[in-house]
Structure 1
């Protein structure tokens, strides 16, 4: 048997195989030979099986289905990887920190967080990334490209994963479960963030004061207390805020409450008497243009009344003074 394996060994790398057929297939990894071509797009492959799998991209055939959520896949290996979402299996572990992953390339990408390696750089802003895929996704922030669209609501997405998450808002599917409290989530990131409520983990630290946070967004908001940055501005008065939620809450102070007939309801604390109608606070409660027209009409009427009063006083004074000696 050993002599048979030696007979079927690769002359380039020395690796041995049980059959000559497997050896010949392996040799193509060295020679680059791809003898099997797609009749539709012309793409070439090293094995007939790889070509057959590729053909399903054209036919739409997905013969492998998940028994739990009925999602279908073009290959059995893709289905097996998907099943780990339901089982929670993570067979690939980081040798440094022990963190586990459901796929080997997830682990490989994670390892670069320890080494600091970011070999893929953006040609526009020079930002670096651990994987080519992350770089390609980032490039869409410059180009504005959103190649993935929802078949139901038509929303566009720059990442396929975001499109899948959006679909779950339509289907109600929540495939990620908390093992502690059994809450379910539409995305793995939401589940991981939730898990920190149980573990108390706060992996995001402020570089200035070292305060820790459960999410990166919370850390970024906190950083603005140091930098003074207020990126969210009110469209009406220009006041700036560190959080979008604070800006939205403030914006409601400009809203005008209306009655059932869409007539503005004036705040009783604002003096709207005739002699106070020029008060800017009064005009502010009338946001709509047609309401501003109403204000002008009121002001005009008041001005006309004032002229009439002045004419009466003048007439009375003239009559009074004419009787004086």
Structure 2
């Protein structure tokens, strides 16, 4: 024990001549100096990304190999990094030690609480340089940027369908496998997405914390409420790359594009989904906001015409 303590008390004799930070071993100083010089001697042979330390390169290579050496002893889920496993472990605990002082909601991770509090403060620190839209998470901004570039980097190996988000691809793949891992503890009904399960649970608890002030419809997520409100305001901020018309959500772009290729003339001006008959479109429109939806005075055909699209691109859909 004394020898171990002596190791901690050993004089740090190797000092950085740039910042003054000191180490006990010369190799640690050598590694540190790369912070100042920018040297990254360890290069990935697959993608050419470079690193300061061999350990960083070793961890990076797992992205290419798919190796995940760290497994959760509770559920078996595996991770490429030990830090990923440590972040995952609280999922199995019922304890939520981090509580929001505004609404009392509890979280398992302090980082989740930090992001949640932005819902109350309105802070959106990550801003898109193309359209100015703000986000509470950096990952949300990265995914959003694909809506401008048209890139869909996550592709299904079975059918070739492309997605902007990795989680969207995972949910889609379950349509091939039949897997429905999200199960309601009360009635046993299962779902392919966790968000679908949360929305379903509202039918048991009645708790939908985000409510539309105009029609009273409840939502489990603030982002879904925001998208829904466009039904009432008519706001369609996402332009169609085909006809120039507007869509309420970026996620509706793909379904809208099918309108121009599928031969289905009746398309929804809110989400872009197309139908063979006006009756099907009327039924679909009720799903957006029930019978309390505002009447559509302007047709999507007029939207497209104003943007210079051919007059026969869309049928009139004011039904």
TM-score interval, smaller chain = 0.5 to 0.7
- Answer whether contact 1:62 1:72 (CA < 8 A) is retained: yes
Out of 190-199 and 211-220, give the one that drifted further.
211-220
Out of 193-202 and 226-235, give the one that drifted further.
226-235
The aligned counterpart of 1:213 is 218
Structure 2: which 5+ residue stretches go unaligned? 237-245, 249-255, 282-319
Distance change >3 Å, CA 16–CA 249, structure 1 → 2: farther
- Equivalent pairs counted in the alignment come to 250
The aligned counterpart of 2:166 is 160
Distance change >3 Å, CA 167–CA 95, structure 1 → 2: same
Q: Tell which has more relative contact order, 1 or 2 (C-alpha 8 A, sep 6+).
A: 2
Out of 2-11 and 118-127, give the one that drifted further.
2-11
Q: Please list the CA deviations of residues 171-218 of structure 1 after superposition, one character each: whole Å capped at 9, or x if unmatched.
A: 2333334344444432222222223223212222335x4735135657
Root mean square deviation, CA, Å:
4.9
The aligned counterpart of 2:278 is 250
Out of 144-153 and 126-135, give the one that drifted further.
126-135
Structure-1 separation of matches of 2:144 and 2:235: 27
- Answer whether contact 1:118 1:130 (CA < 8 A) is retained: yes
TM-score, reference length from structure 1 = 0.56
| Bigger Rg over Cα | 1
- Answer whether contact 1:150 1:167 (CA < 8 A) is retained: yes
Matched, 1:195 2:205: no
1:117 CA drift (Å): 1.5
Q: Please list the CA deviations of residues 288-322 of structure 1 after superposition, one character each: whole Å capped at 9, or x if unmatched.
A: xxxxxxxxxxxxxxxxxxxxxxxxxxxxxxxxxxx
Match of 2:60 among 45, 54, 57: 54
Structure 1: which 5+ residue stretches go unaligned? 254-325
Distance change >3 Å, CA 238–CA 91, structure 1 → 2: closer
- Answer whether contact 2:268 2:274 (CA < 8 A) is retained: no
**Following superposition of structure 1 onto structure 2, how do residues 1-325 of structure 1 map, counting pairs within 5 Å?**
4-5=8-9, 7=11, 31=36, 37-40=42-45, 41-65=47-71, 72-82=78-88, 87=92, 93-96=98-101, 97-101=103-107, 103-207=109-213, 209=214, 211-214=216-219, 217=224, 221=228, 224=231, 250-251=278-279
Distance change >3 Å, CA 134–CA 175, structure 1 → 2: same
TM-score, reference length from structure 2 = 0.57
Structure-2 separation of matches of 1:231 and 1:21: 60
Structure-2 separation of matches of 1:236 and 1:170: 25
SS in 2 for 1:61: coil
SS in 1 for 2:152: coil
